[in-house]
Amino acid sequence: MSRIGWVGIGVMGRSMCGHLLAAGHEVRVFTRTKASAAGVLEAGAVWCDRPGDVAEGSDFVFTIVGYPSDVRAVYLDEGGLVDRAAPGTVLVDMTTSEPALAVEIHAAAAARGVHALDAPVSGGDLGARNAALAIMVGGGQEPFDRTVPLFEKMGKNIRLMGGPGAGQHTKMSNQILIAGTMIGVVESLLYAVRAGLDVDAVIDVIGSGAAGSWSINNLGRRIAKDDFDPGFYIKHFVKDMGIALAEAKRMRISLPGLALAEQLYVAAMAQGLENMGTQALYTALKNMNAAR
């Protein structure tokens, strides 16, 4: 059994960390609010008072936090993970973050004999609960191979995509696709409702045809139930789209569809929906059409 450190017990991190505990690994945890770690502490995890403390004696450290600024602080601040990890430790950031920051962390870790992987995930809260996440990884082959047995406790589709930052670039491709797809999902269902159709029946039909997607078959069902609780927060999705647009600008490519999706989600945040799930774009567009 491996000794594992874990930072970030949120909507997805709670289940992901729980799978490692259930597999019998020794886990030390830190998260911003100790109350949110109650479930994993009851399951046997050991609480640490600071992020860097989880690295003490750990073979692997996993993080899944909110924003690139959080990632930078957890890894690179004095007394953070890079400072505290012993040589040979594998640090795995599963946050969706900036590719350049992943490269920076890899270099800082390597200078101390520590391995770093960027390994963002896709699948939302459902994928996390069912240990069915897609895990896209950037970094070295040897630390990746060592980490695969732990990744397999959390996901099904696990792939080394290239060197440092490649996992984050792959996740940006994922988010670009989801952004455009979500516009189609919510507009399709808004149209169906206005036309007086049974939304679940519509999803039954179009979700099994050429228009089928994970988003319509999973998030569409939540919309049909007026369930807008977060499997993934709108505020974090806006962060991801901002990273992708910045990378696109750096690479001198135009992504007008992504730019439109970002603006629609910014409008949703302006309506106070930032802490709802990404499917709450439906609510934002419904509100825009309410007076018509």
Query: What is the set of domains in the chain, with CATH numbers?
Result: 3-162 (3.40.50.720), 169-288 (1.10.1040.10)
Distances (CA, A) of 264 to 7, 42, 127, 161, 237: 31, 40, 25, 31, 12
Annotation says 239 is catalytic: no
> Among candidates 176, 42, 21, which has minimal Cα distance to 96?
176
Dihedral-angle region of residue 157 (phi above 0 means left; psi in -120 to 50 means alpha; beta otherwise): beta
11 and 232 in contact (C-beta within 8 Å)?
yes
Q: Is 90 exceeded by the pLDDT of residue 291?
A: no
Q: Is 90 exceeded by the pLDDT of residue 292?
A: no
Q: pLDDT, tens digit, for every residue of 163-194?
A: 999 999 999 999 999 999 999 999 999 999 99
Amino acid identity of 194?
R
Amino acid identity of 29?
V
- Residues 30-48 as b or e (16 or more Cβ within 10 Å = b): bbeeeeebeebbeeebeeb
CA distance 270 to 163: 38
Provide the mean pLDDT of the chain. Answer: 97
DSSP, res 35: G
Q: Is 80 exceeded by the pLDDT of residue 49?
A: yes
Question: What is the predicted pLDDT for the residue at 290?
Answer: 85
Question: What is the predicted pLDDT for the residue at 126?
Answer: 92
Question: What is the predicted pLDDT for the residue at 157?
Answer: 97
% of the chain surpassing 90 pLDDT: 98
CA distance 154 to 286: 35
pTM equals 0.94
115 and 137 in contact (C-beta within 8 Å)?
no
Question: What is the predicted pLDDT for the residue at 240?
Answer: 97
Q: pLDDT, tens digit, for every residue of 223-254?
A: 999 999 999 999 999 999 999 999 999 999 99
Q: pLDDT, tens digit, for every residue of 57-109?
A: 999 999 999 999 999 999 999 999 999 999 999 999 999 999 999 999 999 99
CA distance 190 to 184: 10
The H or E element that residue 40 is part of is: helix 38-42
Q: In the predicted model, what is the mean pLDDT of residues 200-214?
A: 97
Q: In the predicted model, what is the mean pLDDT of residues 283-289?
A: 95
Q: Which of 34, 153, 156, 171 is catalytic?
A: 171
Q: Is 80 exceeded by the pLDDT of residue 197?
A: yes
